[in-house]
Amino acid sequence: MPHQRSPIPEPPPLATPSSSASGLAVKDSRVRAFYEILSRVPPAEVESVLSRCGITPLPEHVEVVLRLCYAFPAAAVKFFRWSGLSLKHTHFAWNLMVDILGKNRMFEPMWDAIRSMKQEGALSVATFASAFGSYCAAGLIKEAVMTFDVMDRYGIPHDVVVVNSLLSAICREDGRMTDAADFFDRVKATVAPDADTFAILLEGWEKEGNVTRAKNTFGEMVIRVGWNAENMSAYDAFLITLVRGSQPDEAVKFLKVMKGKNCLPGLKFFGNALHILIQENDHVHALALWNIMVTDSGLIPSLVMCNSMITLLCNNGNLDAAYRLLDEMPYYGVFPDPLTYNTIFDCLIRNKRAREAESFFTEMRKNEQLPSPKNCAAAIRMFFDQYNPSAAVEVWGFTTELYVSPDNECANELLLGFRELGRLSELRRYADEMLDKGIELRASTVEKLKTAFYKAGRQDAYDRIVRRLKQH
Asked if the model's pLDDT at residue 328 lies above 50, the reply is: yes
- 98 versus 295: the higher-pLDDT residue is 98
Q: Is residue 313 in some structural domain?
A: no
CA angle 156, 158, 162 (to 5 degrees): 85
Q: Which residues contact 84 (CB under 8 A, 6 or more apart)?
A: none
Long-range contacts: 110-117, Cβ < 8 Å, 24+?
Answer: 110/134, 114/154
Give Cβ neighbours of residue 83 (< 8 Å, ≥ 6 apart).
57, 61, 62, 89
Q: Count the Cβ atoms, other than its own, within 10 Å of residue 146.
A: 12
Alpha helices (runs of H) in 11-159, residue ranges in sequence order: 29-40, 43-52, 59-67, 73-84, 91-103, 107-120, 125-137, 141-150
Least confident piece of the model among 19-23, 143-147, 333-337? 19-23
Tell me: the pLDDT tens digits for 434-443? 888 888 888 8
Residue 459 is assigned to a structural domain of this protein:
yes
Task: Indicate whether 403 belongs to any domain.
Answer: yes
Q: Are 131 and 146 a contacting pair, CB within 8 Å?
A: no
pLDDT score of 204: 97
Q: Does residue 420 sit within a domain? A: yes
Whether residue 72 contacts residue 21, with contact meaning beta carbons closer than 8 Å, is answered with no
Q: Which domain holds residue 418?
A: 399-471
- How many folded domains does the chain comprise? 1
Q: Assess if residue 174 is contained within a domain.
A: no
Integer CA distances (angstroms), 165 to 67, 127, 143, 231, 348, in order: 22, 11, 15, 18, 55
What's the pLDDT tens digit per position in 357-403? Answer: 999 999 999 999 989 989 999 999 999 999 999 999 999 988 888 76
- Report the distance separating Cα 463 and Cα 409, nearest Å: 22
Residue type, 8: I
Query: Is a pLDDT exceeding 60 seen at residue 25?
Result: no
Q: In this model, does residue 22 exceed pLDDT 80?
A: no
Q: Poorest-confidence range of 25-34, 302-311, 450-459?
A: 25-34
Q: In the predicted model, what is the mean pLDDT of the chain?
A: 90
Res 405 pLDDT > 60: no
The set of residues, in sequence order, having a beta carbon less than 8 Å from that of 78 and lying 6+ positions away, is 38, 43, 46, 47, 50
Q: Identify the pLDDT of residue 403.
A: 63
Whether residue 6 is predicted with pLDDT greater than 60 in this model: the reply is no
Eight-class DSSP state of 57 = -
pLDDT of residue 143: 97
**pLDDT at residue 360, rounded to an integer:** 96
C-alpha dihedral over 160, 162, 164, 168, to 10 degrees?
A: 180
Asked if residue 206 is part of any domain, the answer here is no
Q: Is residue 458 part of a domain?
A: yes
pLDDT at 406: 62
Burial of 118 (C-beta count, 10 Å sphere; 0-12/13-18/19+): middle
Arithmetic mean of pLDDT, 1-13: 48
Residues in contact with 307: Cβ distance below 8 Å, sequence separation at least 6, in sequence order: 337, 339, 340, 343
CA distance 48 to 50: 5
What digits encode the pLDDT tens for the residues 95-110?
A: 999 999 999 999 999 9
Question: Which residue has better confidence, 382 or 14?
Answer: 382
pLDDT tens per residue across span 194-225: 999 999 999 999 999 999 999 999 999 999 99
Distance of alpha carbon 459 from alpha carbon 409, whole angstroms = 25
| Whether residue 88 has pLDDT greater than 70 | yes
pLDDT exceeds 70 at position 404: no
pLDDT (0 to 100) of residue 1: 37
Question: CA separation (Å) from 305 to 242, 250, 324, 367?
Answer: 21, 22, 15, 21
Q: Is 134 exposed, middle or buried (0-12, 13-18, 19+ CB in 10 A)?
A: buried
In this structure, is residue 201 part of a structural domain?
no
